[in-house]
A and B are shown apart, each in its own frame.
Chain A
Amino acid sequence: MSLSHTRGNQTEHAPATIDTLPIVTWKWHHVEAPYLVALWVLVCWLCKLVFELNHRVTNIFPESGLLILIGFVLGGIVWGADKKATFALQPTTFFYYLLPQIILDAGYCMPNKLFFSNMGAILVYAVIGTCWNAGAVGISLWGCYEGGAMGKGHIIGFLQFLLFGSLLSAVDPVAVIAVFEEVHVNEVLFILVFGESLLNDGVTVVLYNVCDAFVSLGAAKINAAEIIKGIISFFVVAFGGALVGVIFAIILCLLTRCTKNIQIIEAGFIFVISYLSYLTAEMLSLSAIMAITFCGVCSQKYINVNMDERSVNTVRYAMKVFANGSETMIFVFLGISAIDPAIWVWNTGFILLTLLFVFVYRIMGVFFLTWFLNKTRLVPVETIEQVIMSYGGLRGGVAYALATVLDPVKIKEKNLMLCTTFLVIYFTVVLQGVTMKPLVKWLKVKRSAQSELKLIEKLNNRTFEHTLCAVEDICGRIGDNWWIRGWNRFEQKWICRYLMKPSARKSQDYLFGVFHQLNLEDAVNYVSEGERRGSLAFMRSEDAASVDFKKKFGTDMSDIMPDIMVNTDFNGLDVSMSSVTRESVPSVSLEIHENDTKNLRNNNDVNVHHLLQQHLYKSRKHHRHKYSRSHFSINQSEDEVQEIFQRTMRSRLESFKSAKMGVAPAKKISKHPQKDRQQKMSNGKSLDKSKAHPYGDEDFEFSDGNSASGGEAATHAFLYTTAGIVNRAFMPEMDTPPTMRTPPWLSQAETDGSVAPSQRAQRSLPWSPSNIRRLAPLRISNRSTDSFIMADVVKPPENPEDRNSRRDET
């Protein structure tokens, strides 16, 4: 550190001798290190900001490439100022501070079922493919060297070529994520490339260390024993790393079981513990990337269930921030580090041959291995996909870091190798990255199905699994499903017992979870539609604006409330071999990447977000913050969400029932979502009560509502009148089951129009639950166990009691 240097420059400040009290001093040296770090982080992220301003550029050029280019510019500036590369990417910085969060993000958001069901293929590509790449490139280069293609200027031994080959062999997860996330290929293809890039670290580490050790030992001492040790070390490193990851995952799950009372920081545990797993593996010279990958992969399911929904969201978002941020920085620094003339050594033959061999051997490796795998795969990997896989063999930061760590004493041509590594990285990331998208389009690769979770798909997935299990039983053979079933039984019995909170275990049902999630999405949609249509406007204005709710059902799903779409995977008896659903979108940073780009474009979302946060969306455990770091108070009116939920269901049920009765046939289906929206709208508007809810969907109701609103001033009375009117409108279609009973305050509302609002209405938001109640048959179920069903199911006349009972339950 140039501490003394800066001190020497100070005119005023000297530590011991001051003449007068300095009011302000210049303390650069105190803050130099963290300041620079923060400044660089800021600069890198600003670059990203700059690129995202113009989308035409990012559509053609992958962001990673652009970041590298800007890195060049910055590097040029630094070099111009300092005449030396003061800010190159250090391997320790890369490995300890920039890489772990990216890998953790990859592991945590990994679609597990897809990953494990393709594990065989992934392992084959990762292990055999990487070894083949390393060996083939190394040997070919050496052959060419011996053949004189590289001129006589350099002296590189055979082992050094092998070392070079091994450091270039690894497909880089960061680069793969960066390029593939913009391309959206289908899930299987993505998981194969991505899984390979994650798992090949185990191989790369071993190969690199082995070759490095061999280079140190010298060719003379290598005998069979050393080679065998090398092979053994591979297994130890890879499986050891995975084991470390699994152990830490277990610790993490056990920990999240007990963090109920510290929900405010429980989101932080995953970061700390997985980072520790990374460092522990590194300390034991095992594969750190495997460790943190498996830590994320194994723990995701359990901690998502154990932690509060909000913590899960926090984790998800924070991870994306870190991962994306690190990725940005890595690419910028890859650019900056290249501008260092000290390392520029050019050897045409070496560089061109390296590029050629890397490319060609990748293709050969992929095709050969796929041919071999397709014999046993259920769904073969097609030729086109193989082309994309070979084209997607991108090298990135890991290769660079490994090249930097090369010992210049042992390896005299370190600079040449470093330079070549840079060129390979740029070639793959920039060139292949740019051409990837057009290539995918041109070859008509199956793109990922960006479909929303549909209940029927999920239901059928389940059905198919059961069917396959049944057929396997009938055939009497042990098939894939047998293993999966066995694993699930084991998991249910042992793992869930220890790693999951008891309350979480009870509430696990796969289909129901999906259903719940879909309802939440609907709720969000309704409010957002209302918002967008300026519903706030007619709260203020006198005239009724007719609101058209005939909007698409949830097409702007992705840009609304990413936090609502909690991908809590209630994986109770999940047996599926693969699931093509939104919650397992395999692109790691894709979700938030897409989400934040869309969010930026539409300000309304922010308002809706806010509205929801404050009014509508209350999860089962809703916390409204006071400004206190440690104290959360549970929202009093948390039965609201239960009611909303129940209400939606009832009204839909009602509409279907009436559809069956043949009343108002054509508009039935489109009507009921509007009805729901109406309800939701009223729920959402906590602010104004005195205005009409003039979003009648039918003209006749609408005008009625309007005329009623004209006269009314009293809020509650008005509401109930509206309720009455709305009810009147809907009455003819209603199926009045004999068991329906109207709550007393409602029947009053219809008759005299001025009622004392019930305690319940007073306590909660001033929408009226009454009209909804009218619509729904009051079904008293004696089977309900869930607390939020109890909310509306309890007999209406028992108003004081049901509130008490509800309070008891919640």
Chain B
Amino acid sequence: MGSRGSTLSKIPNVDKLMQETGFSQAHIIRLHDRFRALDNDEKGYLCPQDFEAIKELAMNPIGDRIIGAFFAQGPQQETVDFNSFVKVLAHFRPTDKNRPKESTSPDPINSRTNKLKFAFQLYDQDKDGKISRDELLQVLRAMLEMQVTEEQLESITDRTIQESDTDRDNAISFEEFRKSLDKVNIEHKMSIRFLR
């Protein structure tokens, strides 16, 4: 189709993008359309206001954190270009079990480790590599209903940390995080079917 070709040509480095993320052409085009739809002023990039305009995200307790994750590629990032947009979304592709494991190439973006890293990032806002007690408390506060008191929140936080904190530093490092979620089927829970 003519439009497809022209859309693809508008996107810089489309082949590299497809290879890195594993999205097919159809997906890339769809995502590009969505990108442009979100981009209110035709700027060519997205800023936080564009994301905040999605009203369902406002009803999501961790909506703001997800938005933040898009802007987390570099320090003080203000804009999200299409490539970054797609790369972040690539985390949610279902894992490709049949992909041959090449030890030399890096993990694909939608590997289990990278999905976990994305999730870790949601908690670890200050990017020190650890989920501190306060960070966990904030997340819990956001996700638990109002009737839970502060003390209960703190207790839950403590207990959560206690469960997974093996080196007793009162914070959860990425390794501890990964280990505690060992039995959870991440491939299932962090994948969206239509991004396959």
What is A's interface to B at a CB cutoff of 8 Å?
376, 378-380, 449, 451, 454-457, 459-477, 479-481, 506, 509, 511-512, 515, 518, 572, 576-578, 580, 646, 649-650, 652-653, 656, 659-660, 668-669, 779, 781, 783-786, 789, 793
Contacts and interface: CB of A to CB of B under 8 A. Distances in A.
Given A462-B143, A464-B119, A649-B152, A475 B163 contact: no
Contacts of B193: 376, 378, 479-480
B181 interface: yes
29 contacts: A378-B193, A379-B185, A380-B97, A449-B183, A454-B163, A455-B160, A455-B163, A456-B172, A457-B183, A459-B139, A463-B123, A466-B61, A470-B60, A474-B57, A474-B66, A475-B31, A475-B194, A511-B144, A576-B189, A578-B188, A580-B185, A646-B151, A652-B155, A653-B154, A656-B158, A656-B161, A669-B162, A783-B149, A784-B149
Contacts, number: 176
Most buried by A among B119, B158, B187, B189: B189
Nearest to A459: B160
A786 B147 contact: yes
B147 A785 contact: yes
A611 B31 CA distance: 62
A476 B155 contact: no
Contact of B181 (A460, A466, A481, A653): A460
B42 interface: no
Interface in B21-54: 31, 34, 37-38, 51, 54
Given A479-B194, A781-B149, A577 B189 contact: yes
B156 A378 contact: no
| Chain B interface, DSSP helix/strand/loop, else mixed | helix
Nearest to A785: B147
A518 B189 CA distance: 24
Interface string B96-139: 01000000000000000000000100110000000001000001
A657 B60 CA distance: 32
Contacts of A511: 140, 143-144, 156
Nearest to B148: A512
Contacts of A783: 149-150
B139 to A, nearest CB: 7
B195 A475 contact: yes
Contacts of B194: 475, 477, 479
A668 B180 CA distance: 21
Given A476-B37, A572-B145, A785-B149, A653 B192 contact: no
Contacts of A580: 183-185
B159 A652 contact: yes
A477 B192 CA distance: 10
B141 to A, nearest CB: 11
A468 B57 CA distance: 11
Nearest to B66: A470
Most buried by B among A470, A506, A653: A470
A380 B183 CA distance: 18
Contacts of A653: 151, 154-155, 158
Contacts of A512: 144-145, 148, 152, 156
| Chain A interface, DSSP helix/strand/loop, else mixed | helix
A789 B152 contact: yes
Contacts of A467: 62, 66, 119, 122, 190
Contact of A456 (B54, B97, B181, B192): B181
Nearest to A508: B145
Contact of A454 (B38, B123, B180): B180
Nearest to A451: B183
A456 B180 contact: yes
Contacts of B66: 467, 470-471, 474
Contact of A781 (B119, B150, B158, B188): B150
Contact of B159 (A506, A509, A515, A576): A515
Nearest to A480: B193
Given A463-B119, A578-B188, A784-B149, 18 more contacts: A376-B193, A454-B163, A455-B156, A456-B164, A461-B189, A466-B60, A466-B63, A466-B143, A467-B62, A470-B66, A473-B54, A474-B57, A475-B192, A515-B159, A646-B151, A652-B159, A653-B155, A789-B149
| 4 closest residue pairs by CB, A with B | A649-B155, A473-B56, A470-B66, A464-B189
Contact of B184 (A457, A481, A656, A669): A457
B60 A378 contact: no
A793 B63 CA distance: 34
B170 interface: yes
A357 B172 CA distance: 56
A650 B154 CA distance: 9
Nearest to A187: B185
Contact of B151 (A461, A477, A649): A649
A142 to B, nearest CB: 41
B172 to A, nearest CB: 8
Contacts of B148: 509, 512
B89 interface: yes
Contacts of B51: 474
Contacts of B54: 473-474
Nearest to A507: B147
Nearest to B123: A463
B155 A515 contact: yes
A546 B185 CA distance: 43
Contacts of A578: 185, 188-189
B71 interface: no
Contacts of B61: 466
Nearest to A673: B162
